[in-house]
């Protein structure tokens, strides 16, 4: 007997991604996500979300949540995401995210979620006291992606496991409901340097707003002097900058700084090493600080302008929610029909 492969998904090529409304965006958010979002809108129909439903798994201050969502929208626009070309909206404004997540809860298996390493990292030794939402949020993440039948998702290495879960849920839905290719199996987009930015003080840890020391990260709103001081104090070693990629092995902090330089200037790591190989960090670090300040200064200025004009941000978000619903609602109507829900 010959296995018959199902036909390939023929729908639109569409990108979906999102960011949580957190307090204090940093260089990792810019290089790991926002810079890529801008680039992807040249190639795809792009839908970019501010995932406030995910945010409440960690108990943010309700009085601050809406403003933080606006701040992320401001960062999207300031970084170069064009709301006329891409869809920018807040997750909770499209109710179908929650509805599809419940259906997917009935598709996903407990064992799949128990293997999610990010839950183990976040819950630590307090898993039994963690919320069901924190355990289950990868299913909502799958719903976020598949509600728009997204075919591509820009992800970091630490998110690949969650995208695999989305693919598993899509495949099981298609199979269980005898609906071949109803949902696509979304592909990861991991693009060059900047996919994972590490702490300035510890190359084994991801750059994070939750680190108690502000010296571990470059904030998107840092001025040139703050950037210079943080880069000067970034951990390196006594050796010069290597002239080959192989020379970065075992030098995590140096590799991180070289990767940041490459990502900010949109050059290859090899190109950076050819320029600075053999030179000391007294030369390399000021050059890195200069390109960082040049890149971030106009973005920070535009973020400040937009954050001072919430009416403009709300108009962008309302328009984005309307565009998102125009895609999501017909797909959700199809899902209800496939599942067999009653309709008047």
pLDDT of amino acid 333: 98
- Of the residues 63, 120, 206, 295, only one is catalytic, namely 206
pLDDT of amino acid 2: 42
Third-level CATH fold of 14-195+309-339: Rossmann fold (3.40.50)
* DSSP category for residue 50: E
Q: Decide if 206 is catalytic.
A: yes
Third-level CATH fold of 214-305: Tyrosyl-Transfer RNA Synthetase (1.10.240)
- Of the residues 84, 172, 205, 209, only one is catalytic, namely 209
Three-state secondary-structure class, residue 186:
coil
Mark out the alpha helices in 147-280 (DSSP H runs).
Answer: 160-176, 224-232, 252-265, 269-276
As a whole number of angstroms, the distance between CA 238 and CA 74 comes to 40
- Bridge partners (DSSP) of residue 46 are 15
C-alpha distances out from residue 63 to 60, 68, 160, 296, 328, Å: 9, 10, 33, 28, 28
List, by residue range, all CATH 1.10.240.10 domains of the chain: 214-305
C-alpha distances out from residue 17 to 88, 131, 133, 185, 324, Å: 10, 24, 19, 15, 13
pLDDT of amino acid 191: 64
Closest Cα partner for 68 from 44, 52, 84? Answer: 52
Sign for the CA dihedral angle at 4, 10, 14, 19 comes to negative
pLDDT of amino acid 192: 62
List, by residue range, all CATH 3.40.50.620 domains of the chain: 14-195+309-339
Residue 223, CB half-sphere, CA atoms under 13 Å: how many?
2
- Of the residues 84, 120, 122, 285, only one is catalytic, namely 122
Three-state secondary-structure class, residue 242:
coil
Q: Decide if 63 is catalytic.
A: no
Mean pLDDT by 10 residues, the chain (344 residues): 60 94 89 93 96 90 94 97 98 98 97 82 67 90 98 84 94 97 94 78 91 94 94 96 95 96 94 96 97 95 95 98 98 98 90
As a whole number of angstroms, the distance between CA 330 and CA 252 comes to 47
As a whole number of angstroms, the distance between CA 312 and CA 235 comes to 41
pTM listed for this prediction: 0.90
């Amino acid at each position: 007997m010959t296995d018959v492969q199902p036909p390939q998904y023929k729908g639109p090529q569409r990108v979906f991604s999102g960011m949580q409304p957190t307090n204090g965006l940093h260089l990792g958010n810019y290089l790991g996500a926002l810079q890529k979002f801008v680039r992807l809108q040249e190639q795809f129909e792009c839908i970019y979300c501010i995932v406030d439903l995910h945010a409440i798994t960690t108990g943010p201050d309700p009085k601050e949540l809406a403003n933080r969502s606006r701040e992320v929208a401001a960062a999207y626009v300031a970084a170069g995401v064009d709301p006329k070309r891409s869809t920018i909206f807040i997750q909770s404004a499209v109710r179908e995210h929650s509805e599809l997540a419940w259906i997917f809860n009935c598709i996903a298996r407990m064992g799949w979620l128990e293997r999610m390493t990010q839950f183990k990292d976040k819950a630590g030794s307090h898993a039994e006291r963690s919320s069901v939402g924190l355990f289950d949020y990868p299913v909502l993440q799958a719903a976020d992606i598949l509600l728009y039948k997204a075919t591509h998702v820009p992800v970091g290495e630490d998110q690949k496991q969650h995208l695999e879960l989305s693919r598993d849920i899509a495949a099981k839905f298609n199979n269980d409901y005898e609906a071949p290719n109803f949902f696509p199996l979304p592909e990861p987009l991991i693009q060059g340097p900047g996919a994972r930015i590490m702490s300035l003080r510890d190359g084994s840890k991801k750059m994070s707003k939750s680190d108690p020391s502000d010296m571990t990260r470059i904030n998107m709103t840092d001025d040139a002097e703050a950037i210079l001081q943080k880069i000067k104090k970034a951990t390196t070693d006594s050796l010069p900058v290597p002239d080959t990629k192989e020379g970065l092995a075992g030098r995590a902090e140096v590799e991180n700084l070289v990767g940041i330089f490459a990502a900010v200037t949109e050059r290859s790591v090899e190109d950076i090493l050819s320029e600075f190989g053999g030179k000391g960090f007294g030369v390399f670090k000021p050059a890195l600080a200069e390109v960082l300040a040049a890149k971030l200064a106009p973005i920070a200025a535009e973020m400040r302008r937009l954050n001072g004009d919430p009416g403009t941000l709300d108009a962008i978000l309302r328009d984005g929610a309307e565009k998102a619903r125009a895609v999501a609602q017909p797909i959700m109507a199809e899902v209800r029909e496939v599942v067999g829900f009653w309709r008047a």
